[in-house]
Structure 1
């Protein structure tokens, strides 16, 4: 879980600094987002965590996320994993677990 938290902290910091997607996070409390995403990724990867946050469809329903913004978010996560020296094969496995969420996160087609 500590390794996941480092990647998520890095990714959230990147997203909040990225002018392409920063507006999506204007009302976001960074520590709350970091905690929730860490729990979510920990659960998805088979860890002992239980994600208690909103489902992705509800959480993103009014945000107006398009495919470009989603791709920018993924890019930030990939850079964060690179920074933390996560092996490429592990990165791919995590991205494969997260990829189906795009259907619920992208609301502008």
Structure 2
């Protein structure tokens, strides 16, 4: 398989403990960050993924939540996820491309 990453990655020998949390705070999962780059990371998630809104979420890098990244889902393979780190410009652009509901006539 060809390498698709555009950023150099750092592999953590033992993994970095982290948490995933819904944008609205309705769910939280413990995970391990296996590797990371400027553009994203590979996570191993503890617990079921069924029913979670994974299209956009926070990756909490500290137990207090003070260090975090906003993420978008890139791929899923069992209990592992590939995530893309979203920048403010990405978030604004995706919000602008959503269709607006029409005003009632």
Which interval holds the TM-score relative to the shorter structure? under 0.3
The TM-score, its normalising length taken from structure 2, stands at 0.24
The TM-score, its normalising length taken from structure 1, stands at 0.24
The structure with higher relative contact order (CA 8 Å, sep 6+) is 1
- Which one has a larger percent helix, Structure 1 or Structure 2? 1
Q: For the pair shown, which has the larger CA radius of gyration, 1 or 2?
A: 2
